[in-house]
Structure formats: structure tokens, C-alpha cells
Amino acid sequence: MPLWEPLDYASFSRDLEEKIRDKYETQNPNIDIHIVGFAKKVGDLIEGIGSIAWFAGITILLTTLLLFWYSRCITGTLVPVFTSIVAVFLQLGALRLLGYGLDPYSVLVPFLVFAIGISH
């Protein structure tokens, strides 16, 4: 058994909310608790990953519609969108192979890769 176990950011963030913020803020309305730190940010990111996925889907849909409106060509629309999405998946796979992942500071990078792929 290892000396340490990886931190479960989602449960840690929930525990902070339940055991500290909810407990003390409900007892006294004059108390505001602000929790900072990398682990809390990652926990919030995990909690909001569904919203990020919806945002990504809406972004891809709007980009596809606007690109088709501009080009009036289905091939000229789908090729850049498809290749940009492939580039995002390759980037995420390469990050995983290198031992990295998305964190609160790099969650926008896939959107930037997609936007740069579309613009070029």
C-alpha cells in the first residue's frame, strides 16, 4: 500500500462546503467564508464539468452554423470543424499520455485550439 493516496478533489470540495461553509454560515448570518486554493478550484471544476460540456457543444454548433452561413458550402464547413475537433481530442489524449490533465488554469486551452483550427 502506498504511503499516500491521490486526493479526491470532488469529495474534498463537497466536504469543505458541507462541513465548513454550510455549518458556520448558517449559524451566523454575519459570517462569510471564502475558500481558496487549488484543490477547491479543481473540485469546483469537476462540479461544473457538465456546464463546460454544454458550453463546448453550443460553441461547436454556433461555429458550424456561422461557418456555413459564411461559406455556403457543407464541405467547407464540416472539414474545418471536424479537423479542429480531432485536434482537440489529440491534444487531450497527448496530455493524458504525458501525465497531465485539465485543471482550472488550462480548461480553456481546448477552446483555443478549436478556435485557432477554425480560423486557419
Task: Give per-residue pLDDT as tens, 16-57.
Answer: 988 988 888 888 888 888 888 888 988 888 888 888 889 999
Find all residues with CB under 8 Å of 64, minimum gap 6, and list them: 77, 78, 81
Mean pLDDT of the chain: 89
pTM over 0.75: no
Task: Give per-residue pLDDT as tens, 35-46.
Answer: 888 889 888 888
Question: How distant, in Å, are the alpha carbons of 8, 51, 54, 67, 84 from that of 60?
Answer: 31, 14, 10, 10, 10
Q: What pLDDT is recorded for position 54? A: 93
Phi and psi at residue 34, to the nearest 5°: -115, 120
> Cα(1)–Cα(27) distance, rounded to whole angstroms?
41
Find all residues with CB under 8 Å of 87, minimum gap 6, and list them: 113, 114, 117
